[in-house]
């Protein structure tokens, strides 16, 4: 059932809230990606999320709230820098890490002493949390390791039959998961880049660091700060290769790779942009957005990766994009999706 933003059918949201209260799991839209939610205060409900997704139990979940008051029982303390960021960016795509209170079950935090909390900027999500009357633990509503869901159709594809309900709110706005910021330390650290950029955070609270695992470009790190970092993420079934460099050289290289792979009888896909799509030859050429408008690429990245799989493509060659602002998060997801398979020309 599709729910219109302006004309929300409250009875459907209340039905979903009842499922959450009764210990079930519900997929719902947020502005970042679709989430798979359960009562965050109930260990047994939370376990159902891990089971449905096939998510490793040492990858902690984000707890979603609908108002600031709901934060206080969940955390031991809130630093001034966190308060400033909450005022500025909540509701919105910023997750903050706090020392957890005793009511947070260990299954959510994978045994950590901290808890990740966010207030989503999506009316359906916030109404669902409000009517549930409990905070909602929610990871992305996809099978663990696959591209995150940005449409209800993606959730159906991955989780149909495994969950109790899906609220369809259409395509999400941002398209990439929230920025995760550890504010328990004196100098806050970005554990996952997202729509709220380092520059935006630094303007508000001064120096912000980026976790070394994000910069080092290695898939497996020994002791990742954000436990989820060590896992395969966002990957299409097709092999994905990123070609990075000056755009004309990239086009030339991708076309020659496409030809070689075609000769090997592989079905070849190319992830291009509005500006470059006309320059390619392959079985499927998809534009992921406008090179000069990074937010269009963020919004379509996961949907485009999934579209190659839908078409049965064996190997995808992708252009590389700007690292500026939200581009940093786009390239973080794209590189992970490619398993750091990057050709520099
Ligand atoms: P997902 O909900 O699939 O977007 O994943 C949530 C991510 O939030 C995890 O993979 C972790 O990287 C991060 N996260 C959640 N809780 C914590 C925590 N207590 N400390 C550090 N990172 C966390
Ligand atoms: Mg996820």
270-289 pLDDT, tens per residue? Answer: 999 999 999 999 999 999 99
Q: What is the pLDDT of residues 22-77, one digit of tens each?
A: 999 999 999 999 999 999 999 999 999 999 999 999 999 999 999 999 999 999 99
In angstroms, the CA 282 to CA 254 distance is 10
Does residue 101 sit in the same domain as residue 209? yes
Nearest to 342 by CA among 317, 309, 325: 317
Q: Which residues contact 235 (CB under 8 A, 6 or more apart)?
A: 145, 146, 147, 336, 337, 338, 339
Q: Are residues 195 and 289 in the same domain?
A: no
- Flag whether pLDDT at 220 surpasses 50: no
Residue 14 in this model has a pLDDT that exceeds 80: yes
- Last-in-domain residue among 215, 230, 261: 215
Residue 114 belongs to some domain of the structure:
yes
Report which protein residue has its CA nearest ligand 1's atom 23. 226
Which ranges constitute the DSSP H helices of 150-287? 152-159, 198-205, 212-216, 247-263
Are 257 and 203 within one domain?
no
CATH of the domain at 252: 3.40.50.11030
Domains contained in the chain, number = 2
Same domain, 119 and 81: yes
- Residues 249, 124: one domain? no
Q: Verify that 85 and 190 share a domain, yes or no.
A: yes
Q: Are residues 208 and 248 in the same domain?
A: no
Residues 272 and 204 in one domain: no
Q: Find the 250 Cα to ligand 1 centroid distance in Å.
A: 34
| Statement to judge: residues 125 and 246 lie in one domain | no
Asked if the structure places residue 1 within a domain, the reply is: no
Which helix (H) or strand (E) covers residue 31, if one does? none
191 and 53 in one domain?
Answer: yes
- Residues with Cβ within 5 Å of ion ligand 2? 139-140
pLDDT tens per residue across span 284-318 = 999 999 999 999 999 999 999 999 999 999 999 99
pLDDT for position 224: 43
The CATH number that applies at residue 16 is: 3.90.870.10
How many whole angstroms from 61 Cα to the centroid of ligand 1? 5
- 289 C-alpha vs ligand 2 centroid, how far in Å? 22
End position of a domain, from candidates 150, 182, 215: 215
- Per the prediction, the chain carries an average pLDDT of 94
Does a structural domain hold residue 126?
yes
Angstrom distances, CA of residue 116 to CA of 67, 109, 138, 296, 297 = 15, 8, 11, 27, 27
Cβ-count burial 246-277 (b if 16+ within 10 Å, e if not): eeeebbebbbebbeebeeeebbbbbbbbeebe
Which residues are near ligand 1 (CB < 6 Å)? 59-62, 97, 109, 112, 114-116, 139-140, 177, 180, 191-192, 226-229
Domain residues for the domain of 206 are 10-215
């Amino acid at each position: 059932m599709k729910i219109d933003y302006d004309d929300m059918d409250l009875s459907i949201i209340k039905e979903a809230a009842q499922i959450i209260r009764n210990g079930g799991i519900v997929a719902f839209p947020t502005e970042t990606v679709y989430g798979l939610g359960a009562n965050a205060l109930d260990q047994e409900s939370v376990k159902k999320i891990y089971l449905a997704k096939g998510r490793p139990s040492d990858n902690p979940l984000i707890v979603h709230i609908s108002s600031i008051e709901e934060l206080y029982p969940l955390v031991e303390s809130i630093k001034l820098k966190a308060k400033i960021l909450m005022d500025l960016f909540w509701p919105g795509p910023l997750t903050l890490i706090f020392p957890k209170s005793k009511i947070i079950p260990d299954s959510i935090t994978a045994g950590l002493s901290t808890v990740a909390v966010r207030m989503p900027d999506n009316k359906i999500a916030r109404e669902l949390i409000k009517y549930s009357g409990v905070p909602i633990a929610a990871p992305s509503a996809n099978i663990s390791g696959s591209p995150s869901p940005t449409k209800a159709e993606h959730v159906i594809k991955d989780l149909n039959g495994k969950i109790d309900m899906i609220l369809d709110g259409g395509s999400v706005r941002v398209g990439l998961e929230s920025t995760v910021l550890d504010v328990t330390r004196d100098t806050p650290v970005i554990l996952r880049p997202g729509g709220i950029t380092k520059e935006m955070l630094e303007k508000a609270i001064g120096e912000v660091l980026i976790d070394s695992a994000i910069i080092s470009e290695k898939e497996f790190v020994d002791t990742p700060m954000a436990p989820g970092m060590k896992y395969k993420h966002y990957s299409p079934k097709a092999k994905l290769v990123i070609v990075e460099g000056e755009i004309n050289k990239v086009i030339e290289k991708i076309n020659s790779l496409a030809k070689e792979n075609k000769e090997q009888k592989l079905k070849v896909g190319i992830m291009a942009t509005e500006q470059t799509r006309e320059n390619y030859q392959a079985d499927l050429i998809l534009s992921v957005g406008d090179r000069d408008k990074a937010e269009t690429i963020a919004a379509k990245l996961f949907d485009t990766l999934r579209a190659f799989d839908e078409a049965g493509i064996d190997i995808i060659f992708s252009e590389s994009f700007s690292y500026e602002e939200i581009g940093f998060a786009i390239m973080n997801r794209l590189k992970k999706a490619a398993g750091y398979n990057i050709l520099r020309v």
